[in-house]
Structure formats: C-alpha cells, structure tokens
Amino acid sequence: MKHVTDSLTDYLDGLLNQEESAAIASHLKECSTCKQALAQLKELFGAFEQEDVLAPSKRVREHFLEALKSEQTTKVATTLENNINVLPKKSGVRILLKIAAGIALLFGAFMLGRNQNERQANQSLATQEYKMLEMQQTAMISLMGNQSPSKRIQGVNLITKFKNPDEEIINALVNRLFLDKNMNVRLTAVEALSMFAKSETVKLAFIKALATEKDPSIQIAIIQNLVRIQAQNAAEPMKYLLEQEDTQPFVKEEINRVLGEII
C-alpha cells in the first residue's frame, strides 16, 4: 500500500508508464483506503488549480522546510530548496503542494489502516473471548446439573476458567454447596468458592453453611476460609458449632484454635 500511495500523484499527472499505471488502477479497484486517498488527492489538486497561485515567500518556504525536517525528510527538503530556486514560481508551488499532500496522505493512509486493523483485531478478539466464556459457562452449569458426581465435580472445576465470574456462576456453585448430596461435590464447591471468598455472596454462603453442613471435612474447609478473609460475623456460627454435641472433636479443636483470630 505504501508504494501505491507514493505513486498516486504521478498516477494523476500521467507520469507513469503503461504497466505501472495499469497496476495502480487494478490495486485501486480492490483497496478502499488507496481509493479514498486518490479521491482526496484529486479534490486537493482540483482546489489548487482553481486558485491563483502565488510564489512562496521566503518565510513560507522556511516554515515548510522546517516541517519537512521535523518529519525526518531533510534530504527531500534540501533537494526541494534547490529546485524551487530554478523552477518557475508556479511550478515550484505545485511541487510543494504535491509533496506536502503526498506526505499528509501517506501518513493519513498509514494511520487509518493501522487504526482500522487494530480496531478490527481488538473487536474480533473480544468477540472470540466472549463467545468462549459463554460456551464455558454453559458447559459448567450443564455439567453441574449432571447425574454423575464426577461430571458435577468436573463442572465445578471449570471455575478456574473465569477471572471474574458473574453472579449466575457464583450462585450455581453455592447451590452445589447447599444442595448436592455428594460430599465430594460439596467439598469441591467449597474449594472453588474459596477463590472468591471476599465476595459478599460467597462469605454469607460460607457462614450460612456452618449451620447446615454436617460433614467435618467441609466444616473445616469453610472455617479456614472464613478465618483467612477475617469474617468477624462468622464468630457466632462457630460458637454454635462448639455447643453442638454432634460436632466432631477435631472440628471443635480447630474452632478453638482459630476463633481468637476473628473476634
């Protein structure tokens, strides 16, 4: 695209040979960016031709050469300065305008193409990521409702695919914690929810589960997570477990060991 953009002014002026002209014409049929650049160039030169062209003053010429230098085109600027002194004044202005327009169009085409490509790439990536997460969420919830405990555990473990799971996913895991009849599934749900224990939904679920969960290993896992996040409102449910006769001795020992850390 750079080569074609560089040649557009010569293409308009009929300075290219037949093969080069045909190649550019063919490219313009396929490239909307270059076609737009050509249209802008035609409009620009058309406007120039309609105006009375004045010879550039010394100040204008100096400003233009400084602009060229700032774009790291010192060599072009030096050649241009020499040519302006020997060409007719109107012709010198024409060259000035052509080079300035060429630089502007080249830079504009480059930035337009780069920005379009970046936007398209970012949009495509975001769309793909969203679709992938949507598929993973559907698979996760579907597996958690499977009759097989191993499939439900597999579904729960899909939580690792989500950096910031939404409420639907969190609630699905909470339901496994409270409603699943399989102890291994409930324990896996606790481990999965522990990744997001600072969430108010998860914190409240853990506290509520202390009053209903009867499996000692799950009780221990919940207690450790509540201590880790310093859930002070978990102290009362822990004290309640201490008072229950069916609470296993090692669970009571764990509660006594950690209770002082959150009171």
Strand, coil or helix: 149: helix
**What are 68-122's pLDDT values in tens digits?**
555 544 444 455 455 444 444 444 455 555 566 566 656 665 666 666 656 655 5
Same domain flag for 188 and 114: no
| DSSP structure string for 77-126 | HHHHHHHHHHS-HHHHHHHHHHHHHHHHHHHHHHHHHHHHHHHHHHHHHH
Is 31 contained in some domain?
Answer: yes
What percent of the chain has pLDDT above 90?
Answer: 27
Is 7 contained in some domain?
Answer: yes
How remote is the C-alpha of 227 from its chain's centroid? 36
DSSP annotation of 158: G
**What are 134-154's pLDDT values in tens digits?**
777 777 778 888 889 998 998
Same domain flag for 7 and 124: yes
Domain count, the chain: 2
Same domain flag for 72 and 149: no
Domain final residue, candidates 95, 130, 165: 130
pTM across the whole model: 0.51
